[in-house]
Amino acid sequence: MLDPVAEPVVGHRRMSHLDDLIESNDIDELLKHCDRCFDAADWDGLIDIRDRSRATVDSGRQLWPAAHRASYLVVLGGPPALVGTVIDDPSRMSPGPLTEVAACHHTWVDLEPHLAVGPARSIVAHERVVRREPVDEFFNVSVLDLPLRLARWEPSYCLAEYERDGCVVAEPSRPPLQPMAMGEGAHMLDDPDVLAAFTALVEEWSNGSEGQVTAVAVQGDAMGAVAAVVERTADSDLRSRLDDPSELLATRISSSEAIALMAWAGSSGGVHGRRRGAAAGRFGAWWVIGALGGMLDDWPPEPSEIGDAAAALEWWLWSPGAHVTGWGLHLAVEDPNSGSAWALAAHDRG
């Protein structure tokens, strides 16, 4: 005979079993019970777990992980009508924001009738946009102040696929790097908007994980900016990996490749931080370009202005050496018209 705990539980028997788990304050079994309900497509059972676990807060019991787990599983596999009722739930136990989880498995057309007006509804719309579902004819409110349709110049964004026990995230392709002479003698510039935009792009790597982030602006070229950022980074391990103090590895990349890399970094949490979602990554990439082009005071710009500004810049991917491990984003960008350049060194070893 099967172990009765391992059997799907429904109706009165389900409630009786849940009562026992709540009364015993057995968080491990509650989490396993969430998974059994998910496997049995018992969405009402997951809602019961969420509601009952939440209700124990006043009694001093710490069953909130079960409530968060139940909400995540409902959004992951439940019907759109039910997804709309939990999309605003706390989700610290989920591998990413519930808005992205919902957009991973449901279209905007299916979800839209069930989403209440508010920020979560808008973020779900943006998450569907990065999955190439245009929604601007259905929805006109934009929390992120980005168009609800991809521009022709935008790349294919790296997306997350959510599963019961985590998520798998695609990574952008990186072209091979070549040895280049390290620049020198660049004059530092005070450019708070661009430096703040670069830092904000990967702030979760440092806030939620163990990443080191340094950005600089210089009067000079891209290689001079790289030399300046290497000199100023707090990441001593990155500096020590220079195979030759006079050289680094670098290559020119297209603006499309740079946008894909920035969006990938901005959507992630680094090694240990919580994922922010592809919509946040897209916004972070646009914001960096807007800062580089001096467009932040009149946001949002026309999509063509962002595309033109990105294409007018020279983008570089670089690395301090051939053996840098962990999560990294090392970019440099040069404006040939102004003679200014910027560099970002973001590295999270975890």
Q: Where does the chain show beta strands of DSSP type E?
A: 160-163, 166-169, 178-181, 187-188, 212-219, 247-253, 314-319, 327-335, 340-348
- The C-alpha atoms of residue 117 and residue 120 are separated, in whole angstroms, by 8
Query: What is the predicted pLDDT for the residue at 1?
Result: 35
Contact between 77 and 41 (Cβ < 8 Å): yes
Long-range contacts formed by 88-91: CB under 8 A, 24+ apart: 88/116, 88/118, 88/120, 89/50, 90/64
Query: What is the predicted pLDDT for the residue at 325?
Result: 61
Terminal Cα distance for the chain, rounded: 45
- The C-alpha atoms of residue 178 and residue 158 are separated, in whole angstroms, by 25
Q: Would you write out the chain's pLDDT as a tens digit for each of its 350 residues?
A: 334 444 454 554 555 778 888 888 888 999 999 999 999 999 999 999 999 998 887 666 788 899 999 999 999 999 999 999 999 998 877 899 999 999 998 999 999 999 998 899 999 999 999 999 988 766 655 678 899 999 999 999 999 999 998 899 888 889 999 988 887 778 999 999 999 999 999 999 988 888 889 999 999 999 999 999 988 875 555 555 555 556 788 999 999 999 999 999 999 998 888 899 999 999 999 999 999 999 999 999 999 999 999 999 999 999 877 656 668 999 999 999 999 999 999 988 76
- The C-alpha atoms of residue 16 and residue 4 are separated, in whole angstroms, by 13
Query: What is the predicted pLDDT for the residue at 181?
Result: 84
H/E stretch holding 45 reads helix 43-55
* Other beta carbons less than 10 A from residue 47's beta carbon: 18
DSSP 65: H
Query: What is the predicted pLDDT for the residue at 233?
Result: 76
Q: How far is CA 219 from the centre of its chain?
A: 32
Query: What is the predicted pLDDT for the residue at 4?
Result: 43
Domains of the chain by range and CATH? Answer: 1-88 (no CATH), 178-348 (3.40.1000)
Q: Model's pTM, two decimal places?
A: 0.89
- The C-alpha atoms of residue 275 and residue 284 are separated, in whole angstroms, by 14
- The C-alpha atoms of residue 275 and residue 160 are separated, in whole angstroms, by 10
- What would the two tokens of residue 151 be? 């521009």
Query: What is the predicted pLDDT for the residue at 66?
Result: 93
